[in-house]
Amino acid sequence: MSLQSAQYLRQAEVLKADMTDSKLGPAEVWTSRQALQDLYQKMLVTDLEYALDKKVEQDLWNHAFKNQITTLQGQAKNRANPNRSEVQANLSLFLEAASGFYTQLLQELCTVFNVDLPCRVKSSQLGIISNKQTHTSAIVKPQSSSCSYICQHCLVHLGDIVPYNSPLLGRLQVTSIVRSGSW
């Protein structure tokens, strides 16, 4: 465990408290959610074993995404809500952002930990970023089983996000990738 990871965890607790503070406005909650995502992403990339031990990947999903999706869904389903169409648009945007986050996280994890997934196009092939990492000294090398687990976790949540818009399609696509075992 690195001292930095423990400090990140303490910072995450403050951000989670901020996100549930009813005194804060939507902009402040959004900023806290973004900061929490960034913090947890750093932990997963730099000290995966510690992050998994502390269940950071579950906390990330629940606090940064699932709770907000559930809240927005409830508001969007309420036929008495005069802002229902606006909430539905916000839900769609949030789902797109969540999908983008997990896609980018999966891309980064595969690059940093040199994981080759058959469903993944390397960033360098897309002209986005180099597949070489320059700050590898700050990264604690994880077990390969941990790398496989976190990649599967990202794929599962990508599959969890799609059904909110299309109930069956997303889960089937990601389930077929995960079950193939070839990743």
b (16+ CB within 10 A) / e for 44-77: bbbbbebbbebebbebbbebbbbebbeebeebbe
Per-residue pLDDT of the chain (183 residues), as tens digits, is 578 889 999 999 999 999 988 888 889 999 999 999 999 999 999 999 999 999 999 999 999 999 999 999 999 999 999 999 999 999 999 999 999 999 999 999 998 998 888 777 666 666 665 545 445 567 889 999 999 999 999 999 999 888 766 544 444 555 555 555 544
Please state, in angstroms and rounded to a whole number, the distance separating the CA atoms of residues 183 and 181.
6
pLDDT tens track for 76-105: 999 999 999 999 999 999 999 999 999 999
58 belongs to a structural domain: yes
Task: Check which CATH number belongs to the domain holding 123 and give it.
Answer: 1.25.40.10
The predicted model scores a pTM of 0.82
175 belongs to a structural domain: no
State the residue range of the domain holding 65: 3-170
Number of domains in the chain: 1
| Amino acid in the structure at residue 73 | Q
183 belongs to a structural domain: no
140 belongs to a structural domain: yes
21 belongs to a structural domain: yes
95 belongs to a structural domain: yes
182 belongs to a structural domain: no
178 belongs to a structural domain: no
